[in-house]
Chain A
Amino acid sequence: SAVISQKPSRDICQRGTSLTIQCQVDSQVTMMFWYRQQPGQSLTLIATANQGSEATYESGFVIDKFPISRPNLTFSTLTVSNMSPEDSSIYLCSVVTLGELFFGEGSRLTVL
């Protein structure tokens, strides 16, 4: 299995600001993903974080709003830019190890 640490675990943010979420994995992994889980909803894939190249975004998500970095095989960041109350959600980092998809504990953002 993989141990995934996310920071911050939760935050309250003001409208119009940006917040960067960090994801650290205890081993090198090829595939890292960022998901969003809005209140009462299931998980929606935002993007695949590619090491050394630009992230691959899913329909409905754009780089200007959710810039992602992946400088190496154990670390990634997701920034939620110019936040609005609709961005209030749990953001989850996940990795694939030995065929299984593991999740971090999530970062719960509340935008006022």
Chain B
Amino acid sequence: GQNIDQPTEMTATEGAIVQINCTYQTSGFNGLFWYQQHAGEAPTFLSYNVLDGLEEKGRFSSFLSRSKGYSYLLLKELQMKDSASYLCAVRDRSTGGFKTIFGAGTRLFVKA
């Protein structure tokens, strides 16, 4: 089976940097995603890592270590609009198909 762990909530200050961690266990790892979801809206894609290392995209960066089953999402220069849930998701192919399993999400509160 799969298991994905991330913190339930985090609070950070506008303009600061925040790192949201995610650990996972899966037998058929085929990539890790980060999504942002504002209340009442569908999730929107932020990043995809399949190889080890850091992927940078503007104010958002995502890191992956496959040997450690670990990823983080780094948000720089936080803005109030970054207050949202951040979902870590793992693509798994152990059952013969490809499916993406989501963690419980981390609710980020950005304060002034």
Contacts and interface: CB of A to CB of B under 8 A. Distances in A.
A56 B104 CA distance: 22
Interface residues of A, number: 22
Main secondary structure of the interface of B (DSSP, over half): strand
A92 B42 contact: yes
A66 interface: no
Residues of B in contact with A, size category:
20 to 34
Main secondary structure of the interface of A (DSSP, over half): strand
Contacts of B44: 103
A33 B99 CA distance: 8
Given A102-B45, A104-B42, A42 B104 contact: yes
Nearest to A98: B48
A110 to B, nearest CB: 14
B42 A96 contact: no
Contact of A96 (B43, B87, B98, B104): B98
Interface of A: 31, 33, 35, 41-45, 48, 56, 58, 92, 94, 96, 99-106
Closest A-B pairs by Cβ, 6 of them: A103-B42, A43-B102, A42-B105, A42-B104, A42-B102, A106-B42
Interface of B: 31, 33, 41-45, 48, 85, 87, 89, 91, 95, 97-105
